[in-house]
């Protein structure tokens, strides 16, 4: 007897429907075809034990299972439940109607209980697009999948519930989620607040500018100056995520299996801080079966690279293209996947190997050659892609002991949101969302300068020997500073402030 059941495979952050054909005939054997990986090939042992422990069995006949399309590689253990139901129906042990309207996914334990799967949200989105009416999956993933409207979601704890539903008509509880209400409830106050930061007013100003325009920023300062503390608080002044951004971010985390149990939406901007020993594949994504890397997990949020020169140069260089294109493409011989990676890069570094460059009281003094080697670990093209370079100095004792409350993140976020609203209106006819994303034509259109401002920028370019990319970065930052002030045009004052935020371009940093 031939039976067809349906599952789904995830490639990148999108899903593809998989048809599982089960044919049982005379003879003996178990043949699973359609380019399954080892986890799927081992499924027959899990299925046999799960069925045995629930009063059913794999028939002692010739069983052929084909996962179509047969030329597409499938991976993971999420097809266990799909295969098991196909075998039961094809062997006549249970009856199931309208299987063409149903999507089934889940990993089986030996006792028949179900383990969570990866990619429930993109699978549910694809199922709805392909006209499926019901989606049966582990209960841990039900809330995540129920975000999709017009698709009935049923969370299962074990295979027996699904068998009883098909065989005896037992009613299952449908998971229903109000997406907008879920999004609203997921919005929380950030854990870190700028009110905790004493002093560092100039750095807070830089952070505000970076958040308002979506600019990448690097903090340069000695150990203990507060670089990491400041970076952790940047998400607290970014505008709240939109529902569209929350869905994009949730899809990526769903694909990697990083969704917390019974969590429907990720509504907080991600903050990712990988260790400097990370590999290039772990950072940008890839592998034999490509998975999103840290830069994609930071999509719509912040990627913090602490001690930037300690990262392997190859790791940093592969990040150059995603910084420009806001997406990363992983190519293999038989397929290509693209992951979104629109993030704010926040990097930090010491000004020298010893960490105390130009400090007369420094315990360690680095030679010019050591300085050159240390700063040379970060390439010029990568630094050019970072809009703001700012020095962070240690906070003096009188400011540390100051009991007066500092400005909190909520106040700063209001100004940032106002500047972002200006940018949204400016770019409403394009795919650009904020100033850091402007391309050359938009820079020429929205960053026009008066003659006096041009002369000021020309002088700075010549003295600091800035590249053409650095020129564009200065204009973008100046545009954001003007937006924060509500100014329609960029003035010389805005240009002057933007030029100050190119510390690594100044003479003296390279020995």
**Is the distance from CB of 212 to CB of 419 less than 8 angstroms?**
yes
Domain assignment present for residue 490? The answer is no
CA distance 10 to 20: 15
71 burial type by CB count under 10 A (0-12 exposed, 13-18 middle, 19+ buried): exposed
E runs forming strands in 59-113: 62-68, 102-104, 107-108
Whether residue 46 sits in one domain with residue 103: yes
**Is the distance from CB of 166 to CB of 95 less than 8 angstroms?**
yes
Whether residue 239 sits in one domain with residue 166: no
Domain boundary among 127, 148, 177: 177
Whether residue 227 sits in one domain with residue 144: no
Cβ neighbours of residue 426 under 8 Å, at least 6 residues apart? 446
353: domain CATH number?
Answer: 3.40.50.300
Domain assignment present for residue 461? The answer is no
pLDDT in tens, 473-497: 899 999 999 999 999 999 999 999 9
CA distance 329 to 11: 12
Q: Which domain holds residue 372?
A: 186-410
**Is the distance from CB of 458 to CB of 475 less than 8 angstroms?**
no
Whether residue 329 sits in one domain with residue 240: yes
Domain assignment present for residue 195? The answer is yes
**Is the distance from CB of 139 to CB of 157 less than 8 angstroms?**
yes
Within 10 Å of residue 424's Cβ, how many Cβ atoms?
13
Sign of CA dihedral 283, 286, 288, 290: positive
Q: How many domains does the chain have?
A: 2
Whether residue 292 sits in one domain with residue 171: no
SS3 of residue 15 by DSSP: strand
Whether residue 6 sits in one domain with residue 153: yes
Whether residue 166 sits in one domain with residue 223: no
Domain assignment present for residue 495? The answer is no
Phi, psi of 304, rounded to the nearest 5 degrees: -110, 120
Whether residue 284 sits in one domain with residue 351: yes
Domain assignment present for residue 145? The answer is yes
pLDDT at 509: 47
CA distance 417 to 1: 62
pLDDT at 401: 66
- Inter-CA distances, 337 with 13, 250, 251, 323, 342, Å: 8, 18, 14, 17, 16
Domain boundary among 374, 394, 410: 410
pLDDT at 507: 46
Whether residue 259 sits in one domain with residue 401: yes
pLDDT at 464: 78
Domain assignment present for residue 506? The answer is no
**Is the distance from CB of 335 to CB of 293 less than 8 angstroms?**
no
Domain assignment present for residue 496? The answer is no
- Locate 226 and state its tokens: 């507060």
Strand order in the sheet with 174-175: 102-104, 134-138, 152-156, 174-175
124: domain CATH number?
Answer: 3.30.230.10
Phi, psi of 243, rounded to the nearest 5 degrees: -60, -40
Whether residue 375 sits in one domain with residue 259: yes
pLDDT at 382: 84
Domain assignment present for residue 282? The answer is yes
Whether residue 111 sits in one domain with residue 203: no
Strand order in the sheet with 388-391: 271-272, 302-305, 344-349, 217-220, 388-391
Mean pLDDT of the residues in the chain: 88
DSSP assignment letter at 347: E
CA distance 11 to 493: 49
With a cut of 70, which residues of the chain have pLDDT below it?
Answer: 186-188, 262, 352, 354-368, 371, 397-398, 400-402, 505-511
- Locate 476 and state its tokens: 């973008």
Domain boundary among 128, 148, 177: 177
Whether residue 173 sits in one domain with residue 190: no
DSSP assignment letter at 306: S
> Helix axis angle, 468-485 relative to 201-213, nearest 10°?
100
- Locate 459 and state its tokens: 């002088």
């Amino acid at each position: 007897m031939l039976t067809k059941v349906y599952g789904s495979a995830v490639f990148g952050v999108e899903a593809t429907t998989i048809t599982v054909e089960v044919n049982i005939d005379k003879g003996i054997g178990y043949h699973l075809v359609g380019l399954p990986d080892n986890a799927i090939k081992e499924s027959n042992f899990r299925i046999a034990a799960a069925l045995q422990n629930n009063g059913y069995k794999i028939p002692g006949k010739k069983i052929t299972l084909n996962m179509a399309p047969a030329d597409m590689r499938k991976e993971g253990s999420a097809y266990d439940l799909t295969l098991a139901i196909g075998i039961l129906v094809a062997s006549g042990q249970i009856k199931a109607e309208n299987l063409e309207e149903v999507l089934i996914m889940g990993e089986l334990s030996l006792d028949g209980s179900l383990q969570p799967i990866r990619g429930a949200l993109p699978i549910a989105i694809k199922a709805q697009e392909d006209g499926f009416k019901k989606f049966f999956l582990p209960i841990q993933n039900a809330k995540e999948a129920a975000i999709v409207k017009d698709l009935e979601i049923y969370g299962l704890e074990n295979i027996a519930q699904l068998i009883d539903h098909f065989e005896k008509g037992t009613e299952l509880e449908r998971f229903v989620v109000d997406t907008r209400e879920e999004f609203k409830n997921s919005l929380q106050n950030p854990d870190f607040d700028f009110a905790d930061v004493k002093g560092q007013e100039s750095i807070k100003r830089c952070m505000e500018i970076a958040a308002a325009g979506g600019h990448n920023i690097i903090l340069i300062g000695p150990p203990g100056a507060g670089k990491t503390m400041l970076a952790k608080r940047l998400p607290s002044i970014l505008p709240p995520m939109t529902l569209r951004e929350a869905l994009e971010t949730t899809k990526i985390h769903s694909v990697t299996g990083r969704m917390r149990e019974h969590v429907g939406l990720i509504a907080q901007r991600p903050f990712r801080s990988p260790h400097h020993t990370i590999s290039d594949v772990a950072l940008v994504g890839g592998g034999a079966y490509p998975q999103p890397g840290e830069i994609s997990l930071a999509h719509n949020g912040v990627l913090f690279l602490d001690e930037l020169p300690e990262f392997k140069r190859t790791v940093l260089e592969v990040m150059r293209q995603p910084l420009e294109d806001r997406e990363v493409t992983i190519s293999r011989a038989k397929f290509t996947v693209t992951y979104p990676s629109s993030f704010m890069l926040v990097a930090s570094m010491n000004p020298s190997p010893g960490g105390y460059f130009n400090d007369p009281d420094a315990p360690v003094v680095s030679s010019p050659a050591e300085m050159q080697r240390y700063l040379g670990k970060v390439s010029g093209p990568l630094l050019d892609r970072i809009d703001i370079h700012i020095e962070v100095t240690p906070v003096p004792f009188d400011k540390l002991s100051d009991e007066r409350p500092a400005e909190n993140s909520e106040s700063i976020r209001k100004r940032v949101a106002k500047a972002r609203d200006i940018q949204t209106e400016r770019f409403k006819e394009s795919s650009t969302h904020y100033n850091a994303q402007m391309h050359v034509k938009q820079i020429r259109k929205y960053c026009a300068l008066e003659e006096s401002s041009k002369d000021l920028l020309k002088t700075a370019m010549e003295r600091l020997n800035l590249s053409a990319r650095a020129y564009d970065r200065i204009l973008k930052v100046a545009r954001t500073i003007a937006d924060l002030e509500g100014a329609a045009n960029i003035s010389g004052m805005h240009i002057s402030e933007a030029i100050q935020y190119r510390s690594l371009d100044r003479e003296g940093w390279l020995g």
